[in-house]
Amino acid sequence: DYQAIVDAEWNILYDKLERIHHSGAKVVLSKLPIGDVATQYFADRDMFCAGRVPEEDLKRTMMACGGSIQTSVNALSSDVLGRCQVFEETQIGGERYNFFTGCPKAKTCTIILRGGAEQFMEETERSLHDAIMIVRRAIKNDSVVAGGGAIEMELSKYLRDYSRTIPGKQQLLIGAYAKALEIIPRQLCDNAGFDATNILNKLRARHAQGGMWYGVDINNEDIAANFEAFVWEPAMVRINALTAASEAACLIVSVDETIKNPRSTVDAPPAAGRGRGRGRP
């Protein structure tokens, strides 16, 4: 009787595996573990299987390849199977990745970031995210300005000229705002290891002569007409950056009083008494 029960369990298992095989599937992904018997069964029939796949990855694969996630093998048919042109498993470093290429419903792609330290990976991810968001913003709004600190230098020049026509203390405020805008090209020079003072002097002279699109040239350690060099930035990004910076500055200026919390001495450990030397307390 016991052997009959064991044989019945094996028959149920092989019946499910045969249903999967006869459905025409070549790649089997499961959220639950796949045992050695099923893995060997699929391998003998030139089928790939992977267990413990996160549910989020299953949904992403379904959205790219089509089909639907099945909870039973009883209703398997060609209509519920996803499709792709090429499936391959590739070793990259110490990890193995499964690539689905030529998916009929895929509208995105996957970017693999690899690096040494975790901090470098996080910084790379942030930089990549910023770049993607800038491209997204440029697609939605096609207004662009020259990058490399060109627009900041032109705004700084305009505000300096405008401040000279304003009497009173407002002239100092506008002049300070104009000076603050020069931090962007100065920081670009510092990051590239250039002489920021020399570059900014050249930019001021060029903008005074009417070269409104001149900015920092990272490649040649000089200044260049960045609009002609296709160094562009979405205008909306610069508007939002200046708006956020102005609001933050106004918020700080509006603070007229601060409250300082004195250091608490209740939970501090008692200080050791000073001895008299020579081992005497």
Supply the pLDDT for residue 264.
Answer: 61
| Residue 40: strand pairing partners | none
Residue 78's closest CA among 29, 26, 16, 23?
Answer: 23
Q: How many CB atoms lie within 10 A of CB 103?
A: 19
CATH number of 145-254: 1.10.560.10
CATH topology for the 1-101 domain: GroEL (3.50.7)
pTM surpassing 0.75?
no
What residues of the chain score a pLDDT lower than 50? 279
Supply the pLDDT for residue 134.
Answer: 82
Query: What are the pLDDT digits (tens) for 252-272?
Result: 888 887 777 777 655 555 555
Supply the pLDDT for residue 32.
Answer: 92
Supply the pLDDT for residue 137.
Answer: 82
Supply the pLDDT for residue 262.
Answer: 75
The token pair that represents 34 in the structure block = 């796949």
